[in-house]
């Protein structure tokens, strides 16, 4: 235990504790592709935590496919992301499954960063 100040938050976006079904597609060895049904446990604009059965190597590239009802395909509805590219940041083994922290290749659109950048003072050239 440390008696110092609490650790500073390094996350850029707030996480939402949502259980979302997701397909994880990737390649573990040359020519050996996999597709696994998984559950996202929390989601942010920058990534998600996913519970999967398979062990994934660190820094592996995966494609996340979020299943949706046919209603989402209607042109009158706003366009939504259903496929996201991500990279494995870390993996934690648990009983019968693995918790995989994933970072999206690009943050989700229309997301606002939680951490504010410091404002710089504007000075006059005079």
**Assigned domain for 58 exists:** yes
Number of domains in the chain: 1
Task: Let me know: does 33 contact 27? Beta carbons within 8 Å.
Answer: yes
For the stretch 95-120, pLDDT in tens is: 889 999 999 998 887 655 554 444 55
Q: How confident is the model at residue 4 (pLDDT cuts 50, 70, 90)?
A: low
Domain boundaries, position 61:
20-70+79-104
Give per-residue burial for 10-37: e unless 16+ CB within 10 Å, then b.
Answer: eeebebeeeebebebebeeeeeeeeeee
Q: Is residue 100 one of the residues assigned to a domain?
A: yes
CATH of the domain at 91: 2.40.10.220
């Amino acid at each position: 235990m440390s008696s110092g100040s609490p650790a500073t938050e390094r996350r850029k976006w707030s996480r939402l504790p949502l259980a979302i079904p997701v397909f994880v597609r990737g390649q573990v060895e040359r020519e050996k592709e996999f597709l696994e049904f998984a559950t996202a446990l929390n989601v942010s604009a920058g990534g998600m935590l996913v519970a999967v059965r398979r062990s994934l190597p660190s820094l592996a590239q995966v494609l996340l496919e979020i299943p949706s009802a046919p209603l989402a395909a209607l042109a009158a509805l706003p366009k939504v992301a259903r496929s996201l590219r991500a990279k494995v940041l870390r993996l934690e083994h648990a009983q019968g499954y693995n918790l995989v922290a994933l970072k999206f290749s690009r943050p989700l659109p229309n997301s606002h960063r939680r951490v504010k950048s410091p404002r710089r003072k504007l000075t006059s050239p005079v």
